[in-house]
Chains A and B, each alone.
Chain A
Amino acid sequence: MKYFLRKTLVLVLTIFSISLLTFFAFHIIPGDPASLILGTNATEEQVAALQEQLGTNRPLSEQYISWITGFVRGDFGSSIRYRMPVSELLKGRLPVTLSLGLIALVMILAAGIPLGILAARWRGKPGEKILNILTMLGISVPNFFLCILIMWIFGLILHLFTPGDYVSYTRSLPRFLQSLFWPALSIAIPQTAILVKYIRTAMLEELGEDYVRTARGKGAGETWILYGHVLKNAIVAVVPLIGMILASVLSGSIIIEQVYGIPGMGKLLIGAVTSRDFPLTQTLVIYITVIIVVTNFLVDIVIQVIDPRIRLSGRS
């Protein structure tokens, strides 16, 4: 219980300091939302009128205070650029990013764990080299390039899908999921590669442990050792990474959503920052913060469930 209290306190403090940081960042970066909406043709009177309408003529500190007091009451304010309540914007975007993230996560775990085990099994064999090259490629290929590659090969050459053909879940759930498949794959590939590398390293490290020698001494074979002894220990070592992956896929992938044209949280964040939409940016940054803090918390719990040596405690 003490643990939960402490975690909640940490969450609240983190949210507050992150919101302050965002506030200072907005202080520093140049750009005026009203001018951005109106473009270069606007008269000075037009800009002033719109600023008045949007409330962006008030000092930023005043805007911040009104946002944070609203936030505490559960009101996230109104988006300056999209002209609707931030909560409504989130309601539309969350299902998209969460679906995309969860599909990607399933792919990452479904491919990453078996491949990681395989990579550990294949140590010293030719298969290991191939897998190593593949993981290196997966990690080092820039994300946007991977997207283009996937679109080009699977979309334009093999015609397995139509790049850009996003269908909203409000229209058709199956077609929505279908249109998320390839973007999810694009998120999954580099993350899977990282996971494979980590699991492999963790497994190999565990294989050098004394308890593995004990198991061999008992007459256990390779498979028995890997699945019966090493895997669980290796998983403990990669749970924080899986937590980070979870946090990153749920935060919304800016690049993937942008390239595939998926209106999720990442794309919204781009829109919010480029248009200097203060309340929206604040809320999205807080969303990401909450995701990260909560996944860290989940990681703690999961590790605690797997590893009996670790107990949640109120003390640090």
Chain B
Amino acid sequence: MKKTILAMLLTAVMAVSLAACGGSGNSTSSDPFIYGLAGEITDFDPFSSGGTANSRTITFNIFEGLVKVSTDGSVQPAVAEAVEKNEDATVYTFTLREGVKFHNGNAVTMDDVLYSIQKAIDAGTAGYNEIASFEAADDRTLVVTLNKTDTGFLDYFTQAIVPAGSDDNGEMVLAPIGTGPYKFQEYELQDHVTLVKFDDYWGEGGTLTEIVVKFLADQNAQLTNFQSGAIDGFGGYGEMGEQINEENATIIQTLSNMSQVLALNNSVEPFTDVKVRQAIAYAVDSQDVLDTVNFGIGQVVGSPVPPALTKYYMPELEDYYHKDNDKARALLEEAGYKDGLTFTVRIPSNYPVHVHCAEKIASQLEEVGITMQIEQIDWGTWLENVYKGRDYQATMISVDGATVSPTAFLARYVSDSKSNFMNFNSPAYDEAYNRALAATDEAEQIAAFKEAQQIIADECAGVFIEDIGSLTIYTREYEGYKSYPLTAMDFTAVKKIAEK
């Protein structure tokens, strides 16, 4: 008996050591492109989690809507080849493109489109509550009627088109079928997702034949995996660029298209007083944060709307609260905090970049006698207590937009918005925002959105710091990146330029 166990143990040891000594590479010429993602994607449901930033790394390549976002932020036809809207932007008419196929080989039909819209409505997808009716005029013509004017409605129609009946029991969650340039092949839980090129794609697809998205624990794991050669590329923050040897890598700098904000809870002391909020804004030096924490990669902002939304972006707000300790002290004194004040900022611990920025900001605030204590909490707790429960003094976060529309970034500042986690309350803002929504004239609309942003800045809803620079890093064998005004990874842009 003892000998048998011993023999088994020895065999195990030998097997392992043999394996460990064996050759590590059985690389073939068609090695997949391996992209390292900090985090994991747990499902591919386009009607729920497909909207989160991480999921979009994958779902952006699998699914398409009737329209899709282009790199300049405008929407372009996709599954629909044309779209028209009536004068007051209440009726949208789509013409379906011919020859669009699903990954299962079937052609896209009107049934599929109607099914997908109904799914999105049922799932409570943003914007779909504006739909009064939708119907097929003929096999290729879809008419969507809204219950109010919305010139930006098309942004919502980037929502995926899936085969009719394909998601009746939530099948999409683990086996997505779309019309995009890459089709889903394999998902290994907490490890990777494999995508392969969809040969019947209607448009110009990518050049990579196989893509593996590897789920990694955090940015440290991304760096290690990249240095070891386990991944060919990854996306990270500016602060990670310093640790990459540029000789062995292609580093592409873009923006993350969301404004990092030191969010101050407008209905909790001491931030009920606009003077205190402004004092903090004056005490914070965003450029300094950008330079020291993110090595200058990124752009200072002064509004929730990121620079990528060029039409609505207001560069004049970038330095609206120019660093001025004297003004900050004066405002504090006026507000009755002559001897300084102390508050706590609760930051989700899964975002080290916010923690690092907060550390820098804390030292800046110290100069005017403000003590900012940093408390790290886990993401689930943050969502529940801070974001939903609004139980916090201050927090630090970058909120991304689900669509490339100013509403995606500004809607949450409306007083009675369910996602107004900063408790911003300004009747003037509400009026300007609603005026923008109702406007049918584009210039008029842009002016109203800018006015709304100006109010956010004047009232100092929070301290907007920067649109954090994002880096896309490849090994020397790859190049190509398409930057969209929302967080997404478009694998069709990536090209292999050399062999290992």
A residues in contact (CB < 8 Å) with B: 29-32, 35-50, 53, 81-84, 89, 92-93, 102-103, 106-107, 109-110, 148, 151, 155-156, 160-166, 168, 174-175, 177-178, 180-182, 184, 258-259, 261, 263, 267-268, 271, 274-276
B188 to chain A, nearest CB (A): 6
Whether the Cβ atoms of A181 and B16 lie closer than 8 Å is: yes
Chain A residue contacts of B216, Cβ below 8 A: 164, 261
In this complex, what residue of B is CB-closest to A182? B20
Given known contacts A30-B381, A35-B384, A49-B122, A164 and B191 CB-to-CB distance under 8 angstroms: no
Whether the Cβ atoms of B49 and A37 lie closer than 8 Å is: yes
Between-chain CB contacts (< 8 Å), 19 pairs = A32-B388, A35-B384, A35-B387, A37-B48, A40-B399, A41-B402, A44-B124, A45-B125, A46-B126, A48-B124, A50-B123, A53-B170, A89-B189, A160-B20, A161-B24, A163-B230, A177-B19, A259-B221, A274-B378
Chain B residue contacts of A30, Cβ below 8 A: 380-381, 384-385, 389
Task: Determine the distance from Cα of A177 to Cα of B9 in the docked complex, in whole angstroms.
Answer: 14
Whether the Cβ atoms of B231 and A103 lie closer than 8 Å is: no
Given known contacts A40-B399, A45-B124, A258-B217, A92 and B383 CB-to-CB distance under 8 angstroms: no
Whether the Cβ atoms of A177 and B15 lie closer than 8 Å is: yes
Task: Determine the distance from Cα of A36 to Cα of B381 in the docked complex, in whole angstroms.
Answer: 10
Chain A residue contacts of B183, Cβ below 8 A: none
Whether the Cβ atoms of A178 and B224 lie closer than 8 Å is: no
- A sample of 4 more A-B contacts (CB under 8 A), given A181-B20, A261-B225, A274-B380, is A38-B49, A45-B123, A46-B123, A177-B16
Task: Determine the distance from Cα of A260 to Cα of B20 in the docked complex, in whole angstroms.
Answer: 16
Given known contacts A46-B125, A103-B16, A174-B22, A164 and B224 CB-to-CB distance under 8 angstroms: yes
B146 to chain A, nearest CB (A): 16
Q: Scoring B residues 367 to 381 as 1 if CB is less than 8 Å from chain A, else 0, what string do you get?
A: 000000000001111
Task: Determine the distance from Cα of A276 to Cα of B380 in the docked complex, in whole angstroms.
Answer: 7
Chain A residue contacts of B397, Cβ below 8 A: 40
B419 at the interface (CB under 8 A from A): yes
Most chain B beta carbons < 10 A, residue from A39, A92, A274, A275: A39
B125 to chain A, nearest CB (A): 6
Given known contacts A49-B124, A258-B217, A274-B380, A38 and B16 CB-to-CB distance under 8 angstroms: no
Q: Scoring B residues 200 to 239 as 1 if CB is less than 8 Å from chain A, else 0, what string do you get?
A: 0000000000000011110011001101111100000000
Given known contacts A40-B387, A162-B228, A164-B224, A178 and B190 CB-to-CB distance under 8 angstroms: no
Whether the Cβ atoms of B191 and A39 lie closer than 8 Å is: no
Given known contacts A38-B48, A39-B49, A39-B52, A178 and B227 CB-to-CB distance under 8 angstroms: no
B60 to chain A, nearest CB (A): 14
B400 at the interface (CB under 8 A from A): yes
Whether the Cβ atoms of A168 and B191 lie closer than 8 Å is: yes
Chain B residue contacts of A106, Cβ below 8 A: 9, 12-13, 16
Whether the Cβ atoms of A38 and B381 lie closer than 8 Å is: no
Given known contacts A46-B48, A261-B214, A163 and B228 CB-to-CB distance under 8 angstroms: yes
Given known contacts A156-B228, A163-B225, A177-B15, A49 and B380 CB-to-CB distance under 8 angstroms: no
B32 at the interface (CB under 8 A from A): no
Chain A residue contacts of B401, Cβ below 8 A: 41
Given known contacts A31-B381, A38-B51, A39-B52, A162 and B230 CB-to-CB distance under 8 angstroms: yes
Task: Determine the distance from Cα of A259 to Cα of B230 in the docked complex, in whole angstroms.
Answer: 14
Whether the Cβ atoms of B217 and A32 lie closer than 8 Å is: no
Whether the Cβ atoms of B24 and A81 lie closer than 8 Å is: no
